[in-house]
Amino acid sequence: MRLTMDPLEQAGEWLRGDSLPRWSSTQPMQRLLDYSASGELRKHSTSPFPYSHEVNQRVVLWNGDITSLNVDAIVHSTNESMNERNPASDRLFARAGPGLREEISTEIKECRTGEVRVTQGYNLPARFIIHTVGPKYNVKYQTAAENTLHSCYRNILQKACELNISSLALCVVNSVRRNYPPDEGAHIAIRTVRRFLEKHHSSLETVIFAVENTDLGIYEVLLPLYFPRSLQEEENALWQLPSDVGGLYGEPVYPDRQIRIIDNPQHSLDPDDSIDLSSHMDTTISVGEHAFSQMQGDLDQQRLLGERPQSDPLGDLMVKEMQNKERYERLLRRAKTEDLSEVSGIGCLYQSGVDRFGRPVIVFVGKWFRFKEINLDKALLYLIYLLDPLVKGDYIIVYFHTLTSTANHPSLTWLREVYNVLPYKYKKNLKSFYIVHPTIWTKMMTWWFTTFMAPAIKQKVHSLPGVEYLYSVMSPDQLEIPAYITEYDMSINGLRYFQPESPT
């Protein structure tokens, strides 16, 4: 294959990459939000991604057809045979012309997952096409998928440097067709680019995140965390960034998932050997803290010798999980058949639109939940009836503690019962739990509950002092709330609802 760098002809439908507005010139979305006033603890003491005008000058967020960009190289996400059929690939091959298919079939032939291949751009305004294959996503092999996706982006950037190009249009490599959660993929993509630009100051003058409509909202929300455009955005990111922000190159790191079976005379492990079990177990129990991870004997050998082990923690755990699953299925059947109008009519629990990632938003109005008067069995059934079809994918919950009294406060015993009866998918797919207008009592209860009863969701719970803080994660027209909440919020916070300013 001959890679040429001859000047390209200009066409009316082509768009020059260097004409697109740089990230540094765009207006911050969250400039009015002050997370330091929320009472939440920071996830980071100092910024892992400090404000840098120089880095921001090399980044563009653009929504459109990547094949129309006049840049040195564009990225194409495909399958290993490089013949995947989807609108983006079909458009690319159609505009590039027959030469692209011929080069792939005669010279390239295939591309393994995580690797890259380079072809000429042919009839496209881009000089090169960098092809890559993103991973399939399975929650049981999440670690492998995340590492492979990082390899895709890093190999793309390294190949761009090898080609000595200055402008690159980067498509979204992870795909919902391969079950990859779009927001999790965006975190890996953005932080990998950020680390690369930090380390390669003389390469890649322009990196364009070329996203389609389905991913635009995600990148608008996440880019400020990794490429803050002001010191205020850098400060806010200390609360919003995930705890795991990757390694030196943006690669995923999992120190909390690696455990070691110690003090077992039947097995010897090298100091660097570790066993990753939690990524393969669908359970909310932390194996590293469970007695199973500290067992002294070899249960298999004991059984072979006819000995009866004193206890089998893993077996007990599996039995308990099966019992909980059977109980939940019984409750679900009841929820679909019983009359729950006396609970549904209260209006304290309902779905209200979607957030900027397209995830359903579940609203719980605390003031309308009369804990001591309501039928708690039917309340649980209605919760299951409403949430079961929604929690099959990612979702978020917004709880309004506005103007509640002691009559609205559920007991810890009941909360624990509800939490235990809900299966793993509820905890796994819950991405955020926002508590709006919290009180000292709420914060104490939340800390106690998530520390001792529900540690699996501890990092997902956020207290917010006002409604406007939600608008960084969802559009105002997607949030339907009772009028009294809006009136109360305005009385304590004023007219502070976030509205983007018009460009000056």
Please report whether residue 315 resides in a domain: no
Cβ within 8 Å of residue 378, ≥6 positions away: 338, 340, 342, 343
Please report whether residue 80 resides in a domain: yes
Please report whether residue 343 resides in a domain: yes
* Res 471: pLDDT: 87
More confident residue, 116 or 273: 116
Same structural domain, 139 and 271: no
Q: What is the pTM of this model?
A: 0.59
Please report whether residue 329 resides in a domain: yes
* Res 119: pLDDT: 96
Please report whether residue 25 resides in a domain: no
376 has pLDDT over 50? yes
First to last CA, the chain: 48
Q: Write b or e for each residue in 304-338: b if 16 or more Cβ atoms lie within 10 A of its Cβ, otherwise e.
A: eeeeeeeeebeeebeeebeeeeeebeebeebbeee
Instruction: From 182, 214, 240, give the residue that closes a domain.
Output: 240
Same structural domain, 369 and 483: yes
301 has pLDDT over 60? no
Same structural domain, 160 and 280: no
Same structural domain, 141 and 230: yes
The CATH number of the domain where 330 resides is what? 3.40.525.10
CA distance linking residue 181 with residue 430, whole number of Å: 13
Using alpha carbons only, how large is the chain's radius of gyration in Å?
A: 26
Same structural domain, 155 and 130: yes
Lowest-confidence segment of 35-49, 175-189, 276-290 by average pLDDT: 276-290
Same structural domain, 434 and 357: yes
Q: What percentage of the chain carries pLDDT values higher than 70?
A: 80
247 has pLDDT over 80? yes
296 has pLDDT over 50? no
Same structural domain, 197 and 121: yes
Same structural domain, 54 and 176: yes
Domain residues for the domain of 282 are 258-310
DSSP one-letter code for 31: T
Same structural domain, 305 and 330: no
The CATH number of the domain where 64 resides is what? 3.40.220.10
Same structural domain, 268 and 199: no
Q: CA angle at residue 183 from 471 to 425, to 5 degrees?
A: 100
Which pLDDT tens digit goes with each residue over 66-95?
999 999 999 999 999 999 888 999 999 999
CA-CA-CA-CA torsion for 100, 105, 111, 117, nearest 10 degrees? Answer: -40
Please report whether residue 38 resides in a domain: no
Instruction: From 179, 210, 240, give the residue that closes a domain.
Output: 240
Task: Give the count of domains, the chain.
Answer: 3
Q: What is the arithmetic mean of pLDDT over 165-194? A: 92
3-state helix/strand/coil string of 140-179: HHHHHHHHHHHHHHHHHHHHHHHCCCCEEEECCCCCHHHC
Q: What percentage of the chain carries pLDDT values higher than 90?
A: 48
What the block records as the tokens of 52 is 């840098």
Same structural domain, 285 and 375: no
345 has pLDDT over 50? yes
Task: Identify the three-state secondary structure at position 128.
Answer: strand
Q: Please, which pLDDT band fits residue 271 given cuts at 50, 70 and 90?
A: very low
* Res 264: pLDDT: 38
Q: What is the arithmetic mean of pLDDT over 193-207? A: 91
What the block records as the tokens of 456 is 């699996």
Same structural domain, 300 and 428: no
The kind and range of the H/E element at 116 are strand 116-120
More confident residue, 481 or 493: 481
Instruction: From 207, 240, 273, give the residue that closes a domain.
Output: 240
